[in-house]
Amino acid sequence: MSAEIINGRAISDELLMGLKAQIENLRTQHHVTPCLAVVLVGERPDSLSYVTNKDRVAQQIGMASRPVKLPSTATQDEILRAVQELNADIKVHGILVQMPLPSHVDAETVMAAIDPAKDVDGFHDVNVGKLHKGKKDGFTPCTPMGCMVLLHRVLPNLKGKRAVVIGRSNIVGKPMAYLLQEANATVTLAHSGTHDLASVVAEHDIVIAAIGKPEFVKANFIKPKDAIIIDVGINRIERDGKPKLVGDVDFAAVSEKAAFITPVPGGVGPMTIWGLMDNTVKAACAAHNITRAR
Ligand code: NDP
């Protein structure tokens, strides 16, 4: 048996077209153009490529984008000043500071400086609190938000299902576990301290891998036949002398055993970008008191 591929790129493209129409409507009916500011500190090639990608998608859907580039030597105060200027700018609706920041900068302090109403990454304490209290006016982190859409495409009702999230980071694992339980799945949150991970994972219908280790989840981790695998990992490796992008799941082997699986690339990655754009439209509507059309 070979698993059905959950095509994140196609689903993201479809959802982005819907956002494009919403943005056009905001522009023509309300004279509002949602604007996303992306702050990049330094020139890490991976960060540069993520930022370029976000900028390209924003432009494709008619969103305004405001790239802010600072040198890797920028001080914490300089970064905070840039964030405060964006907070104060009424034309900017969403602010994202690309992580990781250089080691001399305290990322928590920078995240805390972003106006929660513009925190489209959903990392600010206020938005984390809102998510955990089930309040709908905050921002959900983009990657877990995208994963939930992918899951719902193949399984609209998660009630009674057992889901395991491998990884407990603040940006992926923890909010993912929260969203799954909100959707009535029974959730296990696994991490590096989990004993006999393979046996634990094999008890679950849904597996979310967010570990950061190339092809770590093997076929023996997977419940046969009906498991759904969402692979969040993005790992750059070299194979046969060539650079290659792989997930946290051993795709070739696991797709022989599971029912559904996301590929890397083309799975969760494009959905994260959709989540960011969706949150920015949400922020623009909230800032201008506009009820969001769906
Ligand atoms: P972190 O490094 O912050 O967290 C990794 C988590 O994996 C930790 O909780 C860690 O456990 C756990 N872990 C590490 N080793 C093991 C192990 N041997 N067994 C079980 N658990 C383990 O990573 P992120 O959450 O930021 O990212 C995870 C992956 O997702 C990365 O590949 C990243 O590139 C990718 N990513 C992809 C995105 C996308 O858009 N597709 C967006 C964001 C991230 P512990 O807490 O015990 O240390």
Which residue CA neighbors atom 2 of ligand 1 most closely? 212
Ligand 1 neighbourhood includes 234 CB (under 6 angstroms): yes
Query: Which pLDDT does position 225 carry in this prediction?
Result: 87
Residues of the chain with pLDDT under 70: 1, 294
Report all structural domains of the chain as residue ranges with CATH numbers, in order of start: 31-114 (3.40.50.10860), 142-269 (3.40.50.720)
Task: Work out which ligand 1 atom sits closest to the CA atom of 273.
Answer: 40
Q: Which residues are catalytic?
A: 54, 98, 121
Ligand 1 neighbourhood includes 62 CB (under 6 angstroms): no
Query: Which pLDDT does position 277 carry in this prediction?
Result: 98
Ligand 1 neighbourhood includes 276 CB (under 6 angstroms): no
Measure 141 CA to ligand 1 centroid, in angstroms: 15
Measure 101 CA to ligand 1 centroid, in angstroms: 17
d(CA 40, CA 48): 8
Measure 151 CA to ligand 1 centroid, in angstroms: 19
Measure 248 CA to ligand 1 centroid, in angstroms: 9
Task: Work out which ligand 1 atom sits closest to the CA atom of 173.
Answer: 25
Query: Which pLDDT does position 1 carry in this prediction?
Result: 63
Ligand 1 neighbourhood includes 194 CB (under 6 angstroms): yes
Q: What is the pLDDT of residues 44-84, one digit of tens each?
A: 999 999 999 999 999 999 999 999 999 999 999 999 999 99
Query: Which pLDDT does position 155 carry in this prediction?
Result: 98
Q: Sort 240 into a burial class: Cβ within 10 Å, 0-12 / 13-18 / 19+.
A: exposed
Measure 92 CA to ligand 1 centroid, in angstroms: 31
Query: Which pLDDT does position 209 carry in this prediction?
Result: 99
Ligand 1 neighbourhood includes 269 CB (under 6 angstroms): yes
Which residue CA neighbors atom 39 of ligand 1 most closely? 269
Query: Which pLDDT does position 189 carry in this prediction?
Result: 98
Non-local CB neighbours of 32 within 8 Å, separated by 6+ positions = 26, 284, 288, 290
Ligand 1 neighbourhood includes 172 CB (under 6 angstroms): yes
Which residue CA neighbors atom 30 of ligand 1 most closely? 233
